[in-house]
Structure 1
Amino acid sequence: MDTSPKLSRHRPAAQADSHERPGEVDERLFVGSVEKGMRVLELFNEHPSALSIGDIAQHTGMGRSAAQRFVYTLHRLGYLGKDGASKKYLPSLKLLGLVRGIHRHHPQRELAVPLLEKLARETRETVSWVELDGNEVVVLLNIPGAHVTAINLPVGSRFPALTSSSGQVLLSQAPQAQLAKMLDALSPEVRARFGTRSRSEVLSIFRKAAQDGHSFTEKNFGDDGVSVSVPVTDLSGRPIAALNVSTVRSRYDIAQVRELILPRLELAAREASA
């Protein structure tokens, strides 16, 4: 299936500018071959096992010869490794250099690592640094919990922003019109996570998160999951990330999380804020 961006063919070239709206692509600047190469790399987020050329062609919607060329190039550049026995491909360690570059350009996130580690030691629960990426939130730092039943949130995990506690604090200052548009765009499966709440009731969740400075969610990771998030801000007070603690209700219900975990989480977020 082709997942490439849909090109806008109705906008005259003379009107193109550097401030494209989401979903629009300037065909004069867009390099389709780069998009296809990235599609190959992104495929490994969905498929943790090694993939053959045929697998990659099938899952990306490319022809086999095109897939082979992109895989060969990425392998030669060192971004894909090849298993000598199966002849299948996996992401290589060179990709970690790109991740390191992301963190180096965000010193506030990098400086927060000791705070997350301390919070994880104190709570013995999973602690994460989460940022907003479009309509989703993505986990960029994670300290796993010490319990066998700890919530597993690997770095790179993505979740719908509206239904996650992290997304709710990160979007708490967003205009109501933006939130309503995002709500209308949710798939029925994701929208069902709000239960029978009306549109106004859902939107009130974000107003409450803005007033409280935190947000709770339940059942995001199964019926036993409890999640609480607070914002990390920049010098202007704008939320740039969320600190999240994820636990299970068999250890903490909402009242216990509010009493025992939230104060520590709020302290860590204040220390992480600029």
Structure 2
Amino acid sequence: MANVTLCFICIGKRVLSKVIKTDDSDKDFLTTFAKGLEVIKSFNDETPCLTVTELAQKVGLSRAAARRFLLTLSKLGYLNQNNGQFSLSAKILDLGYSYLASLNFMERVTPIIEQVARDLNESCSVTVLEDKDIVYIGRASRSRLVSMNLQIGARLPAYVTSTGRIFLATLSDEQLDEFFRDEACKKLTEHTKTAKQIIAEIKKVRVQGYCLVNQELELGMCSLAVPVYNRSHQLILALIVSCNPWLISPEEMLQRFLPVLKSAAQEITLVLP
């Protein structure tokens, strides 16, 4: 259940970033509600606990407004309060679970990715695109994990991930240029490509139908992803296997893993609505 909270908070963060930019003249826009979501997403791994003053500074509220938000959320059961410190309660999981429960096909997808993990003895995951990030919505783990904690709800930048590039490959050349004008494309490792190189890689993905990213996100992590379409040939999900390239080479991943992933993607297509 804890993984679901991460999913809600991460997704809420992106939804909120869009909402906050809405024109103040929009009569259908509830500023107070948007601020409440911003208060919830202020709690994260860096700031699991906040005082009234700390929240006010972080979100840009007056102390009085911050106090009202915190006390309201506490009375509703979404926050715990202890000696002036506020933290998320387990009830917040209900919000994240609502999202995952709405994906009524995941109960049919999960056995498929679990079988892939068993066949390859590597972790297999399903992701979706949310704004400029990919979000993990399903995962079958194996003991040979890379160091990065990639659980349900984990969010990673699309430009530097194999599943992200699968989704970006559906964009037109003009849309890609626009995406990378706004994306910083930080060099996360010595292997991270430049924006120009990444765009070239994405255009290759359109033709080859898969994407392999070797240590651009994190040293010691190589990932291979394939698209998953629904029966109308709309890209819905991306399927990914990650492993340590020092144990299994990228060439071996393409030879052994790619056929298994493509077969699993076809199976998932058949169970999608």
**Structure 2 residue identity aligned to 1:235:** R
Partner residue of 1:195 out of 158, 174, 193: 193
Shift of 1:60: 1.4
Q: Is the 8 A contact 1:225 1:248 kept in 2?
A: yes
Cα–Cα, structure 1 residues 181 and 88, in superposed 2: closer, same or farther, change >3 Å?
same
Q: Distance in 1 between matches of 2:170 and 2:62?
A: 45
The alignment partner of 2:263 has SS state of helix
Deviation above 6 Å: which 4+ runs of structure 1? none
Matches within 5 A, 1:83-94: 84=82, 86-94=83-91
Q: Is the 8 A contact 2:123 2:141 kept in 1?
A: yes
The alignment partner of 1:243 has SS state of strand
Structure 1 gaps, min length 5: 9-24
1:176 lines up with 2:191 in the alignment: no
Cα–Cα, structure 1 residues 174 and 263, in superposed 2: closer, same or farther, change >3 Å?
same
Partner residue of 2:225 out of 222, 226, 229: 229
Shift of 1:261: 2.0
The alignment partner of 2:186 has SS state of helix
Matches within 5 A, 1:211-250: 211-250=207-246
Match of 1:134 in 2: 131
Shift of 1:108: 2.5
The alignment partner of 2:240 has SS state of strand
Q: Distance in 2 between matches of 1:53 and 1:126?
A: 41
Match of 1:75 in 2: 74
Cα–Cα, structure 1 residues 91 and 111, in superposed 2: closer, same or farther, change >3 Å?
farther
Q: Distance in 2 between matches of 1:266 and 1:150?
A: 26
Shift of 1:237: 0.8
1:55-77 superposed Cα distances (whole Å, 9 cap, x missing partner): 22222122222111111111111
**Structure 1 residue identity aligned to 2:20:** P
Q: Distance in 2 between matches of 1:112 and 1:26?
A: 43
Match of 1:162 in 2: 159
TM-score, normalised to structure 2's length? Answer: 0.82
Q: Distance in 1 between matches of 2:238 and 2:42?
A: 27
Cα–Cα, structure 1 residues 73 and 167, in superposed 2: closer, same or farther, change >3 Å?
same
Shift of 1:114: 1.5
Shift of 1:107: 2.0
- Amino-acid identity (%): 26
1:205 lines up with 2:220 in the alignment: no
**Structure 1 residue identity aligned to 2:31:** G
1:120-178 superposed Cα distances (whole Å, 9 cap, x missing partner): 23333232211011122111222333126454212222222122111111222221111
The alignment partner of 2:115 has SS state of helix
Cα–Cα, structure 1 residues 150 and 194, in superposed 2: closer, same or farther, change >3 Å?
closer
